[in-house]
């Protein structure tokens, strides 16, 4: 897969992340190294580094760079972590996470998106990402537990079954709120006594829906 990018645009991309408060150098370096242009539709390649969400197949989106960087920074991923992503999309967030941890399991309800993301990640060498077609509201028991969980679609509430997948000390990030409106990014930490919730910033994500999508 041949990918190209405009150096001035990529420089502004980095400057914008820093200006908006992203300070984790590892996250910034990873955002620079992952070729965002490889994860957007061909018609949108010139806009790949613009700080806005872009449409992809199945009516879904690739999140704006700042949101990807912010959620990644707030997740505080460690090299030894095992990470679960709900909502693979084009695979961009999974690619970023893969450079920060030991492995990523990403669940996508649209088979079309899962298949194309799996192939894209393989082609680009992100070999520690496993893409699964499945229901993010009902993660299979065989998937095990995770140190970090990131949800990249809006949930009206975080399911208890998903919280139970967090290891002690684990962190979950999810946009919570109405499907058609503004959501709040929530950071949940599993402690010895339960779960600590903290609201971060307002965001807008496409809805997270239960089940596996029927595609025509």
Domain that holds residue 165: 57-203
128 located within any domain: yes
Closest Cα to residue 25, out of 57, 59, 69, 63? 69
Tell whether 46 is covered by a domain: no
Report the greatest alpha carbon distance in the chain.
50
Condensed to tens digits (0 to 9), the pLDDT of residues 141-172 reads 899 999 999 999 999 999 999 999 999 999 99
* Domain presence at residue 7: no
> Is residue 21 one of the residues assigned to a domain?
no
Annotated catalytic residue, options 5, 52, 63, 116? 63
Residue 4 lies in a domain: no
In a domain, 131, yes or no: yes
Summarised one tens digit per residue, pLDDT across range 65-122 is 999 999 999 999 999 999 999 999 999 999 999 999 999 999 999 999 999 999 999 9
Total count of domains within the chain: 1
In a domain, 49, yes or no: no
Q: In this model, does residue 215 exceed pLDDT 80?
A: no
Phi then psi for residue 52, to 5 deg, are: -150, 155
- The CATH number covering residue 150 comes to 3.40.50.150
Could you read off the pLDDT of 4-39 as tens digits, one per residue? 445 678 889 999 999 999 999 999 999 999 999 999
Specify whether 5 is catalytic: no
pLDDT value at 2 more than 50: no
Is residue 18 in some structural domain?
A: no
């Amino acid at each position: 897969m041949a990918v190209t990018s405009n150096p001035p645009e990529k420089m502004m991309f980095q400057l914008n992340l820093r200006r908006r408060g992203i300070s984790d150098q590892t996250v910034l370096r990873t955002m620079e190294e992952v070729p965002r242009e490889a994860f957007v539709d061909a018609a949108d390649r010139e806009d790949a580094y613009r700080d806005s969400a872009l449409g992809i197949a199945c009516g879904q989106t690739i999140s704006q760079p700042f949101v990807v960087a912010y959620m990644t920074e707030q997740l505080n991923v460690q090299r030894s972590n095992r990470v679960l992503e709900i909502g693979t999309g084009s695979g961009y967030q999974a690619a970023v996470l893969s450079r920060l941890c030991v492995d990523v399991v990403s669940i996508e309800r649209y088979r079309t998106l899962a298949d194309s993301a799996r192939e894209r990640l393989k082609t680009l060498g992100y070999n520690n990402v496993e893409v699964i077609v499945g229901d993010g509201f009902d993660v299979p028991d065989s998937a095990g537990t995770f140190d970090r969980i990131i949800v990249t679609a809006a949930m009206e509430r975080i399911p208890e079954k998903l919280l139970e997948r967090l290891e002690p000390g684990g962190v979950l990030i999810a946009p919570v709120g109405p499907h058609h409106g503004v959501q709040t990014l929530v950071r949940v930490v599993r402690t010895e006594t339960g779960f600590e919730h903290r609201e971060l910033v307002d965001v807008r994500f496409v809805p997270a829906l239960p089940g596996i999508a029927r595609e025509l």
